[in-house]
Amino acid sequence: MNISDFLAQLRTHSDKHLSLLLPDGGFVPAHFHITEVGHVTKRFIDCGGTRRVLETCLLQTWVHDDVDHRLTAGKLAAIFDKAGDVLPHHDLPVEIEYEDYVVAQFPVESAEIIDGTLTFRLGLKHTDCLARGICLPGTCAPEPPKAAPAASSCCTPGSKCC
């Protein structure tokens, strides 16, 4: 879900409390705070040598001992309004950062009303090889001609693989 869709849900249901449904079916505790609205840019080179950029809107949650706290959709929309130029545009995907022994990030997949709260369903992020055509066995890119014969494995020096 991108920022525009996320904000539309917040504004449509501004009087509703929020809940975050984790991929395992559990919930982030209802008294969570949103401590940051951030624009995260990740610039990297994949294992095939391609330069890439990923951008997200990251909402950091924090759960403390203030169990009476409940965030409403309207309050979170107001926090977004203060973000101003921190968010370059509203097409960025929204992710939730949550700590439960480890810090994890979850993409927001959808929203629905469950038991009177605006519930955002969170998905999972996965690692992946972004250069499968180069790195996976049996799909190696051909080696340029060399003086010495090239090895047949993708993961040999000079194979453009990780």
10 with 85, same domain: the answer is: yes
Total domains in the chain come to: 2
Quick check: 90 and 8 in contact, CB under 8 A?
A: no
Q: What is the pLDDT of residues 126-137, one digit of tens each?
A: 999 998 888 776
121 touches 109 (CB < 8 A) = yes
Task: Give the range of the structural domain holding residue 135, as residue numbers without chain letter.
Answer: 131-162
d(CA 9, CA 108): 12
Same domain? For 79 and 136 the reply is no
Tens digit of pLDDT for each residue in 52-104?
999 999 999 999 988 888 999 999 999 999 998 999 999 999 999 999 999 99
Q: Does one domain contain both 161 and 95?
A: no
Reported as a pLDDT band with limits 50, 70 and 90, residue 147 is: low
Q: Within this chain, do residues 104 and 76 fall inside the same structural domain, yes or no?
A: yes
Task: Indicate if 24 and 95 belong to the same structural domain.
Answer: yes
Q: DSSP characters for 32-65?
A: -EEEEEEEEEEEEE-TTS-EEEEEEEEEEEE--S
Same-domain status, 100 and 135: no
User: Position 162: which residue type?
Assistant: C
Q: Does residue 101 sit in the same domain as residue 34?
A: yes
* One domain for residues 85 and 8: yes
| Same domain (yes/no): 141, 62 | no
Residue 135's Cβ-count burial label (10 Å; 0-12, 13-18, 19+) is: buried
